[in-house]
A = this chain, B = another copy of it.
Amino acid sequence: MTPFIDQLQTALGRCGNPVLVGLDPQADLLPEGILPKQRDTGWAELAKGFSSFCRGVIDVVSPLVAIVKPQAAFFEQVGPSGMAALADVIQYAQSKGLLVILDGKRNDIGSTAAAYARGFLGREGQSAWGADAMTVNPYLGDDSLKPFVDVATQRGAGVFVLVKTSNPGAKMFQDLMSGPRALHQHVAAYVEQLAQQTLGAGAYGSVGAVVGATHPEQLAQLRVEMPHTWFLVPGYGAQGATARDTAAAFDGHGHGAIINNSRGIIFAHRRGEYAQRFGSGRWQEAVEAATRDMIDQLRAETPAGRLAAR
Protein backbone atom coordinates (compact mmCIF):
# COMPACT_ATOMS: atom_id res chain seq x y z
CA MET A 1 0.00 0.00 0.00
CA THR A 2 1.64 3.27 -1.09
CA PRO A 3 1.57 5.74 1.82
CA PHE A 4 -0.81 8.64 1.26
CA ILE A 5 1.97 11.19 1.51
CA ASP A 6 3.80 9.53 -1.38
CA GLN A 7 0.65 9.43 -3.50
CA LEU A 8 0.14 13.10 -2.71
CA GLN A 9 3.67 14.17 -3.54
CA THR A 10 3.64 12.22 -6.80
CA ALA A 11 0.32 13.77 -7.82
CA LEU A 12 1.42 17.30 -6.92
CA GLY A 13 4.67 16.85 -8.81
CA ARG A 14 2.75 15.71 -11.88
CA CYS A 15 0.43 18.74 -11.80
CA GLY A 16 3.16 21.15 -10.75
CA ASN A 17 1.00 23.08 -8.31
CA PRO A 18 -0.35 22.75 -4.76
CA VAL A 19 -3.94 23.89 -5.36
CA LEU A 20 -6.66 22.05 -3.42
CA VAL A 21 -10.14 22.73 -4.76
CA GLY A 22 -12.80 22.76 -2.06
CA LEU A 23 -16.19 21.38 -3.10
CA ASP A 24 -18.69 23.32 -0.94
CA PRO A 25 -22.01 23.22 -2.79
CA GLN A 26 -24.56 25.75 -1.52
CA ALA A 27 -28.02 25.96 -3.03
CA ASP A 28 -28.23 29.76 -3.19
CA LEU A 29 -24.86 30.12 -4.93
CA LEU A 30 -25.23 27.52 -7.67
CA PRO A 31 -25.17 28.68 -11.29
CA GLU A 32 -28.53 28.94 -13.05
CA GLY A 33 -29.75 25.76 -14.64
CA ILE A 34 -28.25 23.40 -12.06
CA LEU A 35 -31.43 23.18 -9.99
CA PRO A 36 -34.89 22.64 -11.48
CA LYS A 37 -36.96 25.84 -11.68
CA GLN A 38 -39.78 24.71 -9.44
CA ARG A 39 -40.69 26.60 -6.29
CA ASP A 40 -40.13 23.94 -3.67
CA THR A 41 -36.94 22.12 -4.42
CA GLY A 42 -36.91 18.98 -2.27
CA TRP A 43 -33.85 17.50 -0.58
CA ALA A 44 -33.43 14.86 -3.29
CA GLU A 45 -33.44 17.46 -6.10
CA LEU A 46 -30.95 19.60 -4.19
CA ALA A 47 -28.70 16.61 -3.67
CA LYS A 48 -28.88 15.76 -7.35
CA GLY A 49 -28.00 19.37 -8.17
CA PHE A 50 -25.01 19.27 -5.80
CA SER A 51 -23.75 16.11 -7.42
CA SER A 52 -24.14 17.45 -10.94
CA PHE A 53 -22.51 20.77 -10.01
CA CYS A 54 -19.53 19.10 -8.31
CA ARG A 55 -19.08 16.77 -11.26
CA GLY A 56 -19.03 19.84 -13.49
CA VAL A 57 -16.32 21.42 -11.31
CA ILE A 58 -14.33 18.17 -11.32
CA ASP A 59 -14.49 17.95 -15.12
CA VAL A 60 -12.84 21.35 -15.31
CA VAL A 61 -10.24 21.08 -12.55
CA SER A 62 -9.12 17.46 -12.86
CA PRO A 63 -6.67 18.17 -15.71
CA LEU A 64 -5.20 21.07 -13.71
CA VAL A 65 -4.88 20.09 -10.03
CA ALA A 66 -4.10 16.97 -7.98
CA ILE A 67 -6.64 17.04 -5.23
CA VAL A 68 -10.12 18.10 -4.16
CA LYS A 69 -11.82 18.47 -0.77
CA PRO A 70 -15.57 17.94 -0.51
CA GLN A 71 -16.99 19.62 2.59
CA ALA A 72 -19.24 17.09 4.34
CA ALA A 73 -21.42 19.75 6.01
CA PHE A 74 -22.95 21.02 2.78
CA PHE A 75 -23.87 17.52 1.65
CA GLU A 76 -25.15 16.57 5.09
CA GLN A 77 -27.29 19.69 5.15
CA VAL A 78 -29.59 18.13 2.54
CA GLY A 79 -30.00 14.86 4.42
CA PRO A 80 -29.43 11.24 3.41
CA SER A 81 -29.73 12.00 -0.31
CA GLY A 82 -26.99 14.59 0.16
CA MET A 83 -24.80 11.87 1.61
CA ALA A 84 -25.44 9.72 -1.44
CA ALA A 85 -24.36 12.71 -3.55
CA LEU A 86 -21.19 12.99 -1.46
CA ALA A 87 -20.33 9.35 -2.14
CA ASP A 88 -20.97 9.93 -5.84
CA VAL A 89 -18.72 13.00 -5.89
CA ILE A 90 -15.86 11.19 -4.11
CA GLN A 91 -16.04 8.34 -6.59
CA TYR A 92 -16.33 10.60 -9.62
CA ALA A 93 -13.34 12.70 -8.54
CA GLN A 94 -11.21 9.58 -8.14
CA SER A 95 -12.35 8.25 -11.52
CA LYS A 96 -10.91 11.46 -12.98
CA GLY A 97 -7.55 10.83 -11.32
CA LEU A 98 -7.96 13.15 -8.34
CA LEU A 99 -7.10 12.45 -4.72
CA VAL A 100 -9.96 13.26 -2.32
CA ILE A 101 -9.75 14.70 1.20
CA LEU A 102 -13.10 14.47 2.96
CA ASP A 103 -13.45 17.57 5.09
CA GLY A 104 -15.67 16.46 7.97
CA LYS A 105 -13.57 17.52 10.99
CA ARG A 106 -14.78 14.39 12.76
CA ASN A 107 -13.69 12.89 16.01
CA ASP A 108 -14.95 11.04 19.10
CA ILE A 109 -13.69 8.70 21.81
CA GLY A 110 -11.69 5.58 20.84
CA SER A 111 -14.12 3.01 19.46
CA THR A 112 -16.27 5.70 17.86
CA ALA A 113 -13.25 7.39 16.32
CA ALA A 114 -12.35 4.00 14.88
CA ALA A 115 -15.80 3.82 13.27
CA TYR A 116 -15.22 7.18 11.56
CA ALA A 117 -11.75 6.14 10.44
CA ARG A 118 -12.87 2.75 9.09
CA GLY A 119 -15.92 4.29 7.47
CA PHE A 120 -14.20 7.07 5.58
CA LEU A 121 -10.58 6.10 4.89
CA GLY A 122 -9.38 3.83 2.12
CA ARG A 123 -10.32 3.18 -1.49
CA GLU A 124 -11.47 0.04 -3.29
CA GLY A 125 -13.95 -1.37 -0.86
CA GLN A 126 -11.73 -0.79 2.17
CA SER A 127 -14.31 1.72 3.43
CA ALA A 128 -17.87 2.68 2.61
CA TRP A 129 -16.90 6.23 1.56
CA GLY A 130 -13.51 5.55 0.01
CA ALA A 131 -11.80 8.87 0.78
CA ASP A 132 -8.03 9.18 0.41
CA ALA A 133 -7.77 11.36 3.50
CA MET A 134 -9.95 13.20 6.01
CA THR A 135 -9.80 16.10 8.44
CA VAL A 136 -9.96 15.39 12.16
CA ASN A 137 -10.49 17.48 15.32
CA PRO A 138 -7.88 17.08 18.12
CA TYR A 139 -9.92 18.27 21.15
CA LEU A 140 -10.45 14.71 22.45
CA GLY A 141 -6.72 13.97 22.69
CA ASP A 142 -4.26 11.27 21.69
CA ASP A 143 -6.47 8.19 22.08
CA SER A 144 -9.03 9.79 19.76
CA LEU A 145 -6.41 10.45 17.08
CA LYS A 146 -4.73 7.07 17.22
CA PRO A 147 -7.49 5.09 15.43
CA PHE A 148 -7.31 7.49 12.48
CA VAL A 149 -3.53 7.15 12.30
CA ASP A 150 -3.72 3.35 12.51
CA VAL A 151 -6.42 2.97 9.86
CA ALA A 152 -4.72 5.51 7.60
CA THR A 153 -1.41 3.67 7.85
CA GLN A 154 -3.02 0.30 7.09
CA ARG A 155 -4.95 1.62 4.12
CA GLY A 156 -2.57 4.08 2.47
CA ALA A 157 -4.75 7.00 3.53
CA GLY A 158 -4.06 10.37 5.15
CA VAL A 159 -5.27 12.41 8.11
CA PHE A 160 -5.17 16.19 8.55
CA VAL A 161 -5.55 17.28 12.16
CA LEU A 162 -6.87 20.77 12.94
CA VAL A 163 -4.05 22.79 14.50
CA LYS A 164 -4.83 26.46 13.79
CA THR A 165 -8.03 27.07 11.87
CA SER A 166 -8.59 30.01 9.54
CA ASN A 167 -11.61 31.63 11.23
CA PRO A 168 -11.35 34.75 13.42
CA GLY A 169 -12.70 32.84 16.46
CA ALA A 170 -9.85 30.33 16.22
CA LYS A 171 -7.89 32.45 18.68
CA MET A 172 -10.42 31.97 21.51
CA PHE A 173 -9.14 28.57 22.59
CA GLN A 174 -6.38 27.69 20.11
CA ASP A 175 -4.26 30.67 21.18
CA LEU A 176 -4.67 30.20 24.94
CA MET A 177 -1.17 30.06 26.42
CA SER A 178 -0.22 27.03 28.47
CA GLY A 179 3.30 27.47 29.70
CA PRO A 180 5.41 29.10 26.99
CA ARG A 181 3.26 27.70 24.18
CA ALA A 182 -0.24 28.26 22.85
CA LEU A 183 -2.72 25.38 22.83
CA HIS A 184 -2.36 25.03 19.05
CA GLN A 185 1.39 24.60 19.52
CA HIS A 186 0.79 21.78 21.99
CA VAL A 187 -1.45 20.16 19.40
CA ALA A 188 1.19 20.87 16.75
CA ALA A 189 3.89 19.11 18.77
CA TYR A 190 1.78 15.97 18.99
CA VAL A 191 0.78 16.05 15.33
CA GLU A 192 4.44 16.43 14.37
CA GLN A 193 5.14 13.22 16.35
CA LEU A 194 2.40 11.45 14.39
CA ALA A 195 3.87 12.77 11.14
CA GLN A 196 7.26 11.38 12.09
CA GLN A 197 5.63 8.00 12.80
CA THR A 198 4.06 7.91 9.34
CA LEU A 199 6.91 9.09 7.10
CA GLY A 200 6.77 8.23 3.45
CA ALA A 201 9.71 8.09 1.09
CA GLY A 202 10.48 11.78 1.67
CA ALA A 203 10.60 14.10 4.65
CA TYR A 204 6.86 14.19 5.35
CA GLY A 205 4.36 11.89 7.04
CA SER A 206 0.82 10.81 6.12
CA VAL A 207 -0.52 12.69 9.15
CA GLY A 208 -0.78 16.37 8.26
CA ALA A 209 -2.15 19.52 9.86
CA VAL A 210 -4.77 22.13 9.03
CA VAL A 211 -3.15 25.55 9.44
CA GLY A 212 -4.95 28.69 8.24
CA ALA A 213 -3.23 31.19 5.94
CA THR A 214 -5.15 33.96 7.69
CA HIS A 215 -2.53 33.91 10.46
CA PRO A 216 0.72 34.18 8.42
CA GLU A 217 3.05 34.61 11.40
CA GLN A 218 1.70 31.55 13.17
CA LEU A 219 1.85 29.66 9.89
CA ALA A 220 5.56 30.49 9.60
CA GLN A 221 6.18 29.52 13.21
CA LEU A 222 4.35 26.21 12.81
CA ARG A 223 6.34 25.43 9.64
CA VAL A 224 9.46 25.58 11.83
CA GLU A 225 7.93 23.53 14.64
CA MET A 226 6.48 20.87 12.34
CA PRO A 227 9.19 20.01 9.79
CA HIS A 228 7.65 16.61 8.89
CA THR A 229 4.03 17.69 8.75
CA TRP A 230 2.31 18.50 5.48
CA PHE A 231 -0.06 21.46 5.82
CA LEU A 232 -3.58 21.75 4.47
CA VAL A 233 -3.93 25.52 4.31
CA PRO A 234 -7.41 27.09 4.23
CA GLY A 235 -8.14 30.81 4.18
CA TYR A 236 -6.92 31.76 0.69
CA GLY A 237 -9.30 33.89 -1.36
CA ALA A 238 -12.77 34.45 0.06
CA GLN A 239 -11.40 34.38 3.62
CA GLY A 240 -8.86 37.07 2.83
CA ALA A 241 -5.42 35.43 2.64
CA THR A 242 -3.26 36.08 -0.43
CA ALA A 243 -0.79 33.82 -2.22
CA ARG A 244 2.00 35.64 -0.43
CA ASP A 245 0.36 34.81 2.94
CA THR A 246 0.69 31.12 2.12
CA ALA A 247 4.38 31.27 1.17
CA ALA A 248 5.65 30.32 4.61
CA ALA A 249 3.75 27.02 4.47
CA PHE A 250 6.26 25.61 1.95
CA ASP A 251 9.77 24.33 2.41
CA GLY A 252 12.64 25.34 0.15
CA HIS A 253 11.69 22.70 -2.44
CA GLY A 254 8.13 23.94 -2.75
CA HIS A 255 6.90 20.96 -0.75
CA GLY A 256 4.98 20.89 2.50
CA ALA A 257 1.58 22.39 1.74
CA ILE A 258 -1.61 22.25 -0.25
CA ILE A 259 -3.55 25.50 -0.49
CA ASN A 260 -7.32 25.29 -0.42
CA ASN A 261 -9.74 27.50 -2.29
CA SER A 262 -13.43 26.65 -2.21
CA ARG A 263 -15.86 29.48 -2.95
CA GLY A 264 -13.24 31.48 -4.85
CA ILE A 265 -13.00 28.74 -7.46
CA ILE A 266 -16.32 26.91 -7.57
CA PHE A 267 -18.44 30.07 -7.40
CA ALA A 268 -16.06 32.19 -9.49
CA HIS A 269 -18.96 32.99 -11.84
CA ARG A 270 -20.34 35.28 -9.09
CA ARG A 271 -17.10 37.17 -8.44
CA GLY A 272 -16.10 40.54 -9.96
CA GLU A 273 -13.88 40.02 -12.93
CA TYR A 274 -15.00 36.43 -13.61
CA ALA A 275 -18.67 37.37 -13.32
CA GLN A 276 -18.14 40.04 -15.97
CA ARG A 277 -16.16 37.81 -18.29
CA PHE A 278 -18.28 34.67 -18.01
CA GLY A 279 -21.44 35.07 -15.91
CA SER A 280 -23.62 32.22 -14.74
CA GLY A 281 -24.10 30.72 -18.20
CA ARG A 282 -20.39 30.02 -18.67
CA TRP A 283 -19.66 29.11 -15.05
CA GLN A 284 -17.29 26.28 -15.90
CA GLU A 285 -15.07 28.67 -17.82
CA ALA A 286 -15.07 30.89 -14.73
CA VAL A 287 -13.97 27.90 -12.61
CA GLU A 288 -11.17 27.18 -15.05
CA ALA A 289 -9.96 30.77 -15.18
CA ALA A 290 -10.03 31.12 -11.39
CA THR A 291 -8.11 27.85 -10.97
CA ARG A 292 -5.47 28.84 -13.52
CA ASP A 293 -5.10 32.28 -11.93
CA MET A 294 -4.60 30.75 -8.49
CA ILE A 295 -2.01 28.34 -9.87
CA ASP A 296 -0.16 31.25 -11.48
CA GLN A 297 -0.26 33.33 -8.30
CA LEU A 298 1.07 30.50 -6.13
CA ARG A 299 3.82 29.76 -8.66
CA ALA A 300 4.81 33.42 -8.78
CA GLU A 301 4.68 34.27 -5.10
CA THR A 302 5.53 31.09 -3.19
CA PRO A 303 8.18 28.37 -3.32
CA ALA A 304 5.51 26.14 -4.88
CA GLY A 305 6.79 27.45 -8.20
CA ARG A 306 9.61 24.95 -7.79
CA LEU A 307 7.10 22.08 -8.05
CA ALA A 308 6.43 23.13 -11.63
CA ALA A 309 10.04 23.76 -12.56
CA ARG A 310 11.20 20.18 -12.12
State the A residues within 8 Å of B (CB).
24, 26, 43, 71, 73-74, 76-80, 82-84, 86-87, 103, 105-110, 112-113, 115-116, 118-120, 128-129, 137-145, 162, 165-174, 176-178, 183, 186-187, 190, 234
Q: Which B residue's beta carbon lies closest to that of A24? A: B112
A270 to nearest B CB, angstroms? 14
Q: Are B105 and A107 in contact (CB under 8 A)?
A: yes
Q: Are B141 and A173 in contact (CB under 8 A)?
A: yes
Q: How many copies does the complex hold?
A: 2
Which residues of chain B are within 8 angstroms of A165 by Cβ–Cβ distance? 109, 139-141, 144
Which residues of chain B are within 8 angstroms of A172 by Cβ–Cβ distance? 141-142, 190
Which residues of chain B are within 8 angstroms of A43 by Cβ–Cβ distance? 128
Q: Are B112 and A82 in contact (CB under 8 A)?
A: no
Which residues of chain B are within 8 angstroms of A177 by Cβ–Cβ distance? 178
Q: Chain A binding site: helix, strand, loop or mixed by DSSP?
A: helix
Q: Are B143 and A167 in contact (CB under 8 A)?
A: yes
Which residues of chain B are within 8 angstroms of A115 by Cβ–Cβ distance? 26, 71, 73-74, 76-77
Given A80-B86, A115-B73, also A138-B139 (CB < 8 A): yes
Q: Which B residue's beta carbon lies closest to that of A71? A: B112
CB<8 Å pairs between A and B, sample of 7:
A73-B113, A78-B128, A80-B86, A80-B128, A105-B108, A107-B137, A176-B176
Given A76-B120, A77-B119, A80-B80, also A139-B71 (CB < 8 A): no
